Amino acid sequence: MKKIGISLLLVSLMILLSACSELQKSLSHIKVENDVSSSSDELKIEKRKIAKKVKQNKENPFNILSYEPDSNYKINIVNYMTKTKAGSSDMLFKYVTGLPGGMIIVNKDTDLTLDVQNYSHDNTSIYWHGLTIPNSLQNTVLLPGEKKVFNFKQFNAGTFWFHSQQKPVLEQLNKGLYAPFIIKEDYDSKYAGDYVLMLDDWALSKEGKVDNKYSTNDMEIIGNKETVNGKAGYDIYPISLKKGEIIKLRFINVSTAQTHTVKLEGHQFRVTHLDGIKVLEPYMVSEIKLSPGERVDVEIKGTQEFGTFYITNERNLGIKIPVVYSGIGKNMESPFISDGPKAFVGMETKNIDFEYVLNSKMKKNYEYDPKKAKNIKYFNWTINGKSYPEVNATKLKVGQVYKMRFINKDTQNVHEMSHSMHIQGTHFQIISINGVAQKTQIFKDTVEIKPNEYVDIAVKFENSGNWMLHSHIIDYEDRGMITIFEVE
Ligand SMILES: [Cu+2]
């Protein structure tokens, strides 16, 4: 026993050390540079910095075309100390897979072996967000030191992710325990570049600690610093593009509560996938909004020869992704092939099978708030008036199509709440929003429902088990916005 204990300790130490050295390379992890003003001097400095960056990183490490998809991954869950701002550091979590950001890149239709080991100091649980796999493989708890092997196969190529689902979910997700899960199809390699962009926000206290405590004033934790793949400002890896080329961008909103509306100055995005599922007909937009948990895949066609353009969001807290032009390339056609899922038939006129009213209420009992050093009445978030674990489960059958309505009546609070609702274990078709039918066929696994809005969806489960319908605004999820589908 003692020998096993010592070797376990040694292995953990080695993993921690390798994680640390990997981390030292990106020590300015959450550092945010000041925004660049329009003064020409600063623009010159900025150009020099980006030129240097491009030289240093001939390849953006999040261009997934640099890696061969694999079918076998070791995923280590580790804690690590990182510098959060000058003179401050905090202990965070991450997945280590040997690829940047703990990525997994696999081909579709391949038998996968994922060997997960928890080297962190906490219990954790892993949720493969958006994958259609048996219930027994989801939300699996791993104790410190524990190892589990996951075997499955995916037929659907797209942008997915995996993250901690250990309750309270905020604790680990807000501290970085998430990573992209990319399922490729052959023609993805025809793009001139294929970049993963994880958008996150960090609520840093004055002491540089990641704030994980709920408060009654902040209904949800919103960050004051924002990152792309863990980096902010000038540390963000540039994306390179030539005139005529088409690149693919895979945006993932990993924030626990913040939405990100992104745009690229002077360019349009061509949307090909939502939440990892192909749209029937790609469409052009000038900006895309991602609620927590959502993914959007877009194409960008190079229209310029020279210059740097920025992808930004609606705030100015660190997300500024340079797209750098470097001459004229091959004039490309999009390799995208539209062979997404078939629409469910007759859904527009079908009656609603189940309705879910999203709301919140003040909790009856007081809870101790360590920040305020007194007892505070907390909000609870509800689905049909109930807060998890007190729920009325909905009984469903495998293979049957149901029409459901999500209604957001959460309009009584200080600020009106949008809800980002996720169904585990499957994806669903958006039929209509406020009774207005969708112009194009859209399947998703997470959908935003704005205040006073209702969204009708059609859903079918392929796997039995207890699946959650929950808010992907993690503060609300942790405070009860979950219900259960008992699928048989
Ligand atoms: Cu999720």
Per DSSP, the three-state class of 310 is: strand
CA of 145 to the centre of ligand 1 (A): 24
Residue 73, beta-bridge partner list: 114
Tokens describing residue 289: 């909004």
Over residues 267-275, mean pLDDT? 97
Model confidence at 41, pLDDT cuts 50, 70, 90, reads low
CA of 429 to the centre of ligand 1 (A): 18
Give the CA angle between residues 96, 117, 13 to the nearest 5°: 70
Cβ distance 239 to 323 under 8 Å? yes
CA of 472 to the centre of ligand 1 (A): 6
Q: Is the pLDDT confidence value at 131 over 60?
A: yes
Find tokens 């319908």 and name the residue.
Answer: 469
CA of 89 to the centre of ligand 1 (A): 27
Model confidence at 286, pLDDT cuts 50, 70, 90, reads very high
Model confidence at 411, pLDDT cuts 50, 70, 90, reads confident
Q: Show the 3-state SS of 387-437.
A: CCCCCCCEEECCCCEEEEEEEECCCCCCCCCCEEEEECCCCEEEEEECCEE
CA of 458 to the centre of ligand 1 (A): 20
Q: Is the pLDDT confidence value at 33 over 80?
A: no
Q: Is the pLDDT confidence value at 425 over 80?
A: yes
Please tell me the number of Cα atoms within 13 Å of 124 on its side-chain side: 32
3 φ, ψ (degrees, to nearest 5): -60, -45
For the stretch 170-185, pLDDT in tens is 889 999 999 999 999 9
Q: Is the pLDDT confidence value at 19 over 60?
A: no
The larger pLDDT score, comparing residue 272 to residue 376, is at 272
The whole-angstrom distance between residue 59's C-alpha and the CA centroid of its chain comes to 23
CA of 275 to the centre of ligand 1 (A): 11
Polymer length of the chain: 488
Ligand 1 is an ion; its neighbours by CB within 5 Å are 129, 293
Model confidence at 212, pLDDT cuts 50, 70, 90, reads confident
CA of 250 to the centre of ligand 1 (A): 16
DSSP string computed for 174-216? TTT-EEEEEEE-GGGGGSS-EEEEEEEEE-B-TTSPBP----S
- Mean pLDDT (the chain) is 87
- Across 343-369, b (16+ Cβ under 10 Å) vs e yields ebeebeeeeeebebebbbeeeeeeeeb
Please tell me the predicted confidence (pLDDT) of residue 373: 73
pTM metric for this prediction: 0.87
Model confidence at 231, pLDDT cuts 50, 70, 90, reads very high
CA of 468 to the centre of ligand 1 (A): 11
Cβ distance 295 to 250 under 8 Å? yes
Q: Is the dihedral of CA 344, 345, 346, 348 positive or negative?
A: positive
Q: What percent of the chain has pLDDT over 70?
A: 84
CA of 182 to the centre of ligand 1 (A): 15
Amino acid of residue 197: L
| Of 256, 473, 302, 250, the residue nearest 381 (C-alpha) | 473
CA of 251 to the centre of ligand 1 (A): 14
**DSSP H or E run through 447:** strand 446-449
For the stretch 328-340, pLDDT in tens is 999 999 999 988 8
CA of 130 to the centre of ligand 1 (A): 8
Q: Kindly report the number of other CB atoms within 10 A of residue 39's CB atom.
A: 9
Q: Is the pLDDT confidence value at 72 over 80?
A: yes
The answer for 44, left when phi > 0, alpha when psi is -120 to 50, beta otherwise, is alpha
The larger pLDDT score, comparing residue 214 to residue 12, is at 214
DSSP string computed for 101-161? GG-EEEETT-EEEEEEEE-SSS-EEEEEET----GGGSSEEE-TT-EEEEEEE----EEEE
Residue 274, beta-bridge partner list: 277, 296
Q: Could you tell me what percentage of the chain is helix, strand and coil, using 3-state DSSP and rounding each to the nearest 5? A: 15, 45, 40
Over residues 41-66, mean pLDDT? 65
Model confidence at 22, pLDDT cuts 50, 70, 90, reads very low
Please tell me the predicted confidence (pLDDT) of residue 101: 95
Q: Where is average pLDDT lowest: 45-49, 178-182, 282-286, 294-298?
A: 45-49
Over residues 25-41, mean pLDDT? 35
CA of 463 to the centre of ligand 1 (A): 18
For strand 239-243 and strand 320-328, is the pairing parallel, antiparallel, or unpaired? parallel
| Of 67, 49, 46, the residue nearest 57 (C-alpha) | 49
Ordered domains of the chain (ranges, CATH)? 64-328 (2.60.40.420), 354-487 (2.60.40.420)
